């Protein structure tokens, strides 16, 4: 049997990726908002490896307005696809069928899979599948991808029509429209594949720029085609694209009348009742703040704190590190090797792994909010706020995704149509605390603020505030000027979160954190242990008892003055900040090595006590602000470079984040010192000037507002 290519195509949130996972056994993440699939995913049917299945990005049409539409359209046009499986949300058939009419024009065999039939039945709506199949002239299968019902029937239907490779499309336009399309077909028939002639003719009638550029028509052909379109537009008093859209919906409306019967007695759904409260103009934002406070309170302060305390104090502090040290000493292992294993490897990595329980609880809570449908509402809520400051609500989706890891969040910015908004989103997504930054927040909160429950949610909203301030400032620059793109998003119905989805999402996010602890953090811990354990004495490299005389201290003291105005001018804090560029959780791993996470006394873990001696609450909070907002880790920088596709823009983004973080931290610390001690210095004056600059940039008139 030859390989058969099946492409899964449908609207965002129609269930494509869920169906893909069911058919291939893959573990692609299923998000409850648009833009999760920003690249095509490939897999083989688990019951027949000769069947190749492509999960294409969710789209509403084949017009190339967004990156998802471009990726999907190019794949369908340029690859030899045997069958298209068009997944349709059964609760909103009319809107979904708009894409179906365009897919049928491609002259590729289509199977329509009506998904979410469990919700259709719950709403007591009726769909006549035979009539629907007859009118569309293609197989129609009813499925429930989330429950796995009838998904095998989709492949069976696809295999049957893959052999024939012919379908008769029923959508023909009447009168002048059809005449114009036939004339256009005559002009372009020698430049396009005959099987897709109808699709190309329709796109030319709609004045699709991408198609017109692809066809490379001569002047005479262009003149004739424009005259055909102009005549039709004048007759119908509308532009070509609107004419075609109107005719498609007329066709769809006729099908709906014959094949779909809505329950006229349907009462207001539970989702609608909930949305009246959680998306209310007055209540929405306070509810969001309260929800995030609860999430972080549970994750960091209650359940998460208990688990982390056990991991740090008992698992590593009492069981692993002392016993490993005693075992190595009992085997007469060289002191330097004992120190490397206990203090360097276990101490450095253990300081990071100690916070894994908090991270897993946080990821679990966020996954529940995503899967039940609440986080989609958050994007809708934030659109109202962001739009006032020059950003679209679509910019908040990458930030939601970035709360786990900045890299997929940065990649999700591809879904934003306008280049200027996409660049702004890439530059600001990393302000939202990712999972790797949470150990820094937990460490500062535990050591300096007596496990204050409010630290984590406050850090989250500092990130949101940084995004808003940046939006206001950057939108007043010509390169970012212009009104944000409209944000249209369907709100999926609320549902009880599926354990499978929640656990999968939690594990994927948590595993990336653990994997880095076992690779990047491990290597960093070894290098840091060596540099802080050895120094130059009388021209020779020797182990030193006091790490203040070590090689690392020499380097750290050279860069410490840079951070002194921010309140953390010790060489240890400076080294921790720099190693955080490798991976943000490396800050905690660095402190674990430098402050001796492995050192345990009868009074408790000296690590926390020593850390508190080098920081005040003010300087610790300043340290947290800088590390939250400054340039992200190297991997995220790489993602920025890939998405920007421009070295200058990449450096501008990294530079902006670093300068913004430094300025914010400086203002916070210096004004905090002025308020708490009354001391006024040259750095206080500089902080006031920077603050005045911030206020000016925020309040000045935007002369590019109407661009």
39-93: pLDDT as tens digits: 678 889 988 888 999 998 888 888 877 777 888 888 898 888 999 999 999 988 9
User: How many other C-beta atoms can be found within 10 angstroms of the C-beta atom of residue 236?
Assistant: 16
Q: Are 9 and 59 in contact (CB under 8 A)?
A: yes
Q: Are 99 and 86 in contact (CB under 8 A)?
A: yes
Q: Decide: helix, strand or coil at residue 5.
A: strand
Q: What percentage of the chain has pLDDT greater than the value 90? A: 31
* Helices within 43-150 (DSSP H only): 67-78, 93-105, 117-122, 129-136
| Residues linked to residue 114 through DSSP beta bridges, in sequence order | 88, 142
Look at the block and give the residue holding tokens 């793109």. Answer: 485
Query: In degrees rounded to 5, what are phi and psi of residue 88?
Result: -120, 135
- CB-facing half-sphere around the CA of 389: CA atoms within 13 A: 23
Output DSSP code: residue 43.
Answer: E
Alpha carbon 706 to its chain centroid, in Å, reads 30
Report pLDDT for 92: 87
Domains in the chain and their CATH numbers?
A: 4-164 (3.40.50.300), 175-261 (1.10.287.1770), 285-699 (no CATH)
* Crossing angle of helices 197-205 and 93-105, rounded to 10°: 120
List the structure tokens of 605. Answer: 């873990």
Instruction: Give which of 608, 590, 596, 589 is closest to 321, Cα–Cα.
Output: 596
Give the number of other Cβ atoms within 10 Å of residue 652's Cβ. Answer: 15
Other CB atoms within a 10 A radius of the CB of residue 165 amount to: 12
Strand-pair category, 540-543 with 604-605: unpaired
Task: Mention every residue, 6+ apart, whose C-beta is less than 8 A from residue 219.
Answer: none
CA distance linking residue 174 with residue 356, whole number of Å: 64
pLDDT at 332 (0 to 100): 84
CA-CA distance, 250 to 177, in Å (whole number)? Answer: 14
**Mean pLDDT in runs of 10 for the chain (707 residues)?**
88 86 71 52 88 89 77 86 93 91 91 89 88 92 86 90 70 82 91 88 90 88 92 90 90 92 77 88 90 86 77 75 84 83 77 80 87 85 78 77 82 78 90 88 84 85 92 87 70 81 83 75 84 85 85 93 95 92 86 70 54 88 96 90 90 96 97 93 96 93 73
Per-residue model confidence (pLDDT) at position 491: 76
At 87 the three-state DSSP class reads strand
8 A C-beta contact, residue 94 and residue 252:
yes
pLDDT for 412: 78
Of 543, 173, 48, nearest in space to 343 by CA: 543
- Backbone φ, ψ for residue 51 (5° rounding): -105, 115
Q: Compute the distance between CA of residue 6 and CA of residue 24 in angstroms, rounded to an integer.
A: 12
Pick from 4, 8, 34, 35: which is nearest to 21 by CA? Answer: 8
β-strand pairing of 540-543 with 51-55: unpaired
Read off the tokens for 247. 């005719």
Which residues, at least 6 apart from 113, have a Cβ–Cβ distance to it below 8 Å? 19, 85, 86, 87, 88, 140, 141, 142, 143, 154
**Do residues 455 and 441 lie in contact, with contact meaning Cβ atoms separated by under 8 Å?**
yes
Which tokens go with 43?
A: 């897999």
Task: Quote the CA–CA distance of 275 and 264 in Å, as a whole number.
Answer: 21
Residue pair 427/474 in contact (Cβ under 8 Å)? The answer is: yes
Tokens of 347: 């101490």
DSSP string, 443-467: HHHHHHSTT-TTHHHHHHHHHHHHH
Q: Please report the pLDDT score of residue 255 as a whole number.
A: 92
- Phi then psi for residue 343, to 5 deg, are -80, -40
- Its pTM stands at 0.75
Q: Are 657 and 423 in contact (CB under 8 A)?
A: no
Question: What is the per-residue burial (b if ≥16 Cβ within 10 Å, else e) of 578-609?
Answer: bbbbbbbbbbbbbbbbbbbbbbbeeeebebbe
Residue 144 is given by DSSP the state B
Element at 271 (helix H, strand E):
helix 270-278
Rg (CA), the chain: 30
């Amino acid at each position: 049997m030859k390989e058969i290519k099946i492409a899964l195509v449908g609207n965002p949130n129609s269930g494509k990726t869920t169906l893909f996972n069911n058919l291939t056994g893959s573990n692609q993440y299923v998000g409850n908002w648009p833009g999760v699939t920003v690249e095509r995913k490939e897999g083989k049917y688990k019951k027949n490896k000769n069947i190749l299945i492509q999960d294409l990005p969710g789209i509403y049409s084949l017009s190339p307005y967004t990156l998802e539409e471009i990726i999907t359209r190019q794949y369908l046009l340029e690859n030899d696809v045997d069958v298209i499986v068009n997944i349709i949300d059964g609760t909103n058939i009319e809107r979904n069928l708009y894409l179906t009419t365009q897919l049928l024009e491609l002259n590729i065999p289509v199977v329509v899979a009506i998904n979410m039939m469990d919700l259709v039945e719950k709403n007591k709506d009726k769909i006549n599948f035979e009539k629907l199949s007859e009118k569309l002239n293609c197989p129609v299968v009813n499925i429930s991808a989330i429950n796995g019902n009838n998904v095998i029937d989709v492949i069976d239907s696809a295999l049957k029509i893959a052999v024939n490779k012919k379908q008769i499309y029923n959508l023909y336009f009447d009168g002048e429209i059809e005449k114009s399309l036939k004339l256009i077909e005559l002009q372009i028939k020698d430049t396009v594949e005959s099987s897709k002639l109808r699709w190309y003719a329709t796109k030319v009638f709609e004045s699709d720029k991408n198609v017109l550029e692809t066809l490379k028509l001569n002047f005479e052909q262009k003149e004739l085609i424009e005259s055909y379109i102009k005549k039709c537009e004048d007759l119908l008093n509308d532009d070509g694209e609107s004419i075609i859209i109107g005719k498609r919906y007329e066709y769809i409306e006729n099908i709906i009348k014959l094949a779909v019967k809505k329950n006229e007695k349907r009462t207001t759904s539970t989702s609608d009742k909930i949305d009246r409260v959680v998306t209310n103009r007055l209540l929405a934002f306070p509810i969001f703040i309260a929800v995030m406070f609860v999430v972080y309170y549970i994750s960091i302060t209650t359940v998460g704190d208990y688990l982390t305390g056990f991991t740090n104090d008992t698992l590593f502090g009492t069981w692993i590190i002392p016993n490993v040290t005693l075992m190595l000493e009992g085997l007469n292992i060289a002191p330097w090797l004992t120190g490397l294993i206990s203090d360097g490897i276990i101490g450095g990595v253990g300081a990071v792994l100690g916070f894994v329980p908090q991270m897993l609880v946080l990821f679990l809570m966020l996954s529940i909010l995503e899967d039940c449908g609440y986080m989609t509402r958050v994007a809708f809520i934030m659109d109202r706020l962001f739009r006032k400051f020059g950003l679209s609500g679509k910019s908040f989706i990458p930030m939601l995704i970035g709360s786990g890891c900045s890299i997929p969040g940065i990649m999700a910015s591809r879904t934003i149509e306008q280049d200027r908004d996409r660049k702004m989103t890439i530059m600001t997504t990393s302000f939202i605390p990712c999972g790797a930054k949470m150990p820094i927040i937990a460490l500062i909160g535990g050591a300096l603020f007596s496990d204050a429950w409010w630290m984590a949610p406050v850090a989250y909203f500092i990130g949101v505030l940084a995004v808003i301030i940046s939006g206001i400032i950057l939108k007043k620059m010509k390169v970012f000027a212009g009104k944000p793109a409209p944000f249209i998003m369907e709100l999926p119905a609320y549902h009880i979160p599926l354990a499978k989805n929640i656990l999968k999402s939690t594990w994927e996010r948590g595993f990336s954190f653990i994997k880095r602890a076992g690779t990047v953090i491990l290597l960093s811990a070894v290098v840091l242990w060596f540099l802080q354990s050895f120094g130059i004495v009388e021209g020779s490299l020797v182990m030193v008892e006091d790490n203040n005389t070590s090689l690392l201290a020499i380097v750290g003291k050279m860069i410490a003055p840079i951070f002194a105005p921010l309140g953390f001018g010790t060489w240890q804090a400076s080294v921790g900040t720099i190693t955080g560029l490798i991976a943000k959780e490396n800050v905690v791993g660095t402190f674990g090595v430098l402050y001796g996470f492995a050192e345990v006394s009868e009074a408790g873990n000296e690590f926390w006590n020593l850390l508190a001696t080098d920081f005040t609450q003010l300087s610790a909070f300043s340290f947290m602000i800088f590390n939250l907002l400054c340039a992200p880790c190297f991997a995220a920088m790489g993602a920025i470079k890939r998405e920007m596709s421009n070295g200058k823009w990449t450096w501008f983004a990294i530079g902006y984040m670093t300068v913004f973080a430094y300025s914010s931290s400086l203002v916070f610390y210096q004004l905090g010192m002025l308020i708490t001690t009354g001391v006024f210095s040259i750095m206080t004056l500089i902080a006031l000037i920077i603050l005045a600059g911030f206020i000016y940039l925020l309040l000045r008139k935007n002369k590019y507002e109407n661009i």
